[in-house]
Amino acid sequence: MQLRPILSSLRRHKLAAGLVILEIAVACAILCNAVFLIRDRLARMHVQTGVAENELVWVKTDGIDSDSAAPLVERNLLALRGLAGVKAVAVTQTLPLSNSSMNFNPTMDASGTKQGPNIAMFIGSPGYLQTLGVTLQDGRDFNDADFGGMNSWMPQSPSIIVTRALAERLWPGQKAVGQAFWIDKSRFNVIGVVDHLVRGELRGKASEYVAMFAARPSPMLSSLYALRVDPPARDRVVREATQLLVKLNSQMLISDKGTYAEMRADYFKQDTAMAWLLATVCVALLVVTALGIVGLTSFWVAQRRRQIGIRRAIGASRGDILRYFQTENFLIVTLGIVLGMLLAFALNLLLMTHYELPRLPLYYLPIGALALWLLGQLAVLGPALRAAAVPPVVATRSV
């Protein structure tokens, strides 16, 4: 295949060829960054929360604000446990990705001089580890004696269970069980370590800085009921649990309820919407670019019918003509890709200054290039085949 005739013909169509190159370049820049943004969102959405997501349902109420809160909540828990399909029940004060989180900064010594990182506090009633479905990695679960009262918002029991992420942050390289931290002069001892548990909202590395505290139901721990159920029974249990709570507590307000899967979907709704939008734009971009190539090549084929006829008459095969247009397209797309890569990096730099985004990984470039080459070849195939079908006799006809 000779490149010379292709290049000289392109040189005669500088403007049109330049426009296609620019179009491919801009499309390439947007595509690379859009796909990168989609991957970024999807990665966020793949977080492992640590709870038994398929088995968990919840009912959020306005709580019980009276001295008799403890027995009333105990009664509610007992009744909920009796529903068909329910395996375990507890009250907690928050759930992973619920968008509500109580945070504190502990001190790492009794004198209160060495401050620790920001940690989310999970508090739950007896059996809440089994209810949430978090798995112990080391140490032991809370036993009955570990559950105590609450002093305002602070659990009085000194026993805590931390996540592995928090243990590695606070005591790197050491065994976490047996360690302690302090909140306002009160000492808390680590009795166990769990694999994973994400706090009320994602915070990058600190997403899993969670400490689990143990407390019996009280006015401060009476509003959020978590139920672990057989997966097929989830929707029914949500309905029945709500009805049961309203029946048992005449003035109770059910502020929200649902399965854990819904809570998680709700947390990521913005990311999901954004990913869909970007994906739609990507597809639309590819279609528009392909149609642009089809349109332009069709014109060139129509314009060069006579030249094609002459080439065929003096011995060029159909394959030669086909390859001519394919090579021409390959050259144009390659130039577009080269320019597009530079644009993609410029766009990425711009996005990095305005949004919290990492740098575009280099392996996006060959993948993007391959996709655009394929697209170009697919788009050019139709017009090129039409060109190859031009009979040599055209050469002998005048206009």
Partner 1 sequence: MFAYYLELALHSLKRNKVLTALMVIAIAVGIGASMTTLTVLHQLSGDPLPNKSTQLYYPQLDPTSRNNTSPETQLTYIDAMNLWRAHKADRQTIVVSASIKVFGPQAGAQPMGLSTVATTADFFPMFDVPIDHGSSWVPADDDSKARVAVISKTLNDKLFGGANSIGKSIRLQKWDFRIVGVLGAWHPAPRFYDLYGRGAFAGGDDVFIPFATSRDLADLGIQGNGMDCWNQLTDQIHLENQPCLWLQFWVQLDTVAKADAYRSYLVHYSQEQKALGRYHEDRLLTALPDLMQWLDLNHVVPADVRLQAWVSFGFLFVCLLNTVGLLLAKFLRRAPEVSVRRALGASQRAVFAQFLVEAGLVGIAGGIVGLLLALLGLWAVRHTPADYAALSHLDLRMLLTTFVLAIVASLLAGLLPAWRACQVAPALQLKSN
Looking only at residues 179 through 198 of this chain, which bind partner 1 when binding is defined by CB under 8 A? 184
| Residues 6+ positions from 211 with CB-CB distance below 8 Å | 119, 120, 121, 122, 160, 161, 162, 163, 166, 188
Helix (H), strand (E) at residue 186: strand 186-194
Choices 140-148, 226-234, 276-284, 365-373 (CB under 8 A): range interacting with partner 1? 276-284
Choices 2-10, 158-166, 263-271, 309-317 (CB under 8 A): range interacting with partner 1? 263-271
Under the binding rule (CB under 8 A), the answer on residue 136 touching partner 1 is no
CA distance 81 to 232: 17
Name the phi and psi angles at 218, rounded to 5.
Answer: -160, 175
- Supply the minimum distance, in Å, between the C-beta of residue 191 and partner 1: 25
Report the 10 Å Cβ neighbour count for 144.
Answer: 8
Looking only at residues 50 through 79 of this chain, which bind partner 1 when binding is defined by CB under 8 A? 62, 65
Choices 21-29, 119-127, 194-202, 365-373 (CB under 8 A): range interacting with partner 1? 21-29
Under the binding rule (CB under 8 A), the answer on residue 261 touching partner 1 is no
Buried/exposed code over 264-281 (b: 16+ C-beta within 10 A; e: otherwise): beebbeebeeebeebeee
Instruction: State the virtual CA torsion across 342, 344, 350, 352 in degrees, nearest 10.
Output: -120
Between 75 and 306, CB nearer to partner 1: 306
Q: Is 67 exposed, middle or buried (0-12, 13-18, 19+ CB in 10 A)?
A: exposed
Choices 162-170, 231-239, 283-291, 359-367 (CB under 8 A): range interacting with partner 1? 283-291
Looking only at residues 138 through 177 of this chain, which bind partner 1 when binding is defined by CB under 8 A? 152-153
3-state helix, strand, coil in the chain (%, to 5): 55, 20, 30
Is 203 in contact with 101 (CB distance < 8 Å)? no
Choices 76-84, 86-94, 264-272, 324-332 (CB under 8 A): range interacting with partner 1? 264-272
Interface residue with partner 1, options 102, 206, 281, 316 (CB under 8 A): 281
- Supply the minimum distance, in Å, between the C-beta of residue 68 and partner 1: 15
Q: Give the footprint of partner 1 on this chain (CB under 8 A).
A: 15-16, 19-20, 22-23, 26-27, 30, 34, 37, 62, 65, 152-153, 184, 246, 251-253, 255, 266, 269-270, 273-274, 277-278, 281, 284-285, 288-289, 291-292, 295-296, 298-300, 302-303, 354-355, 399
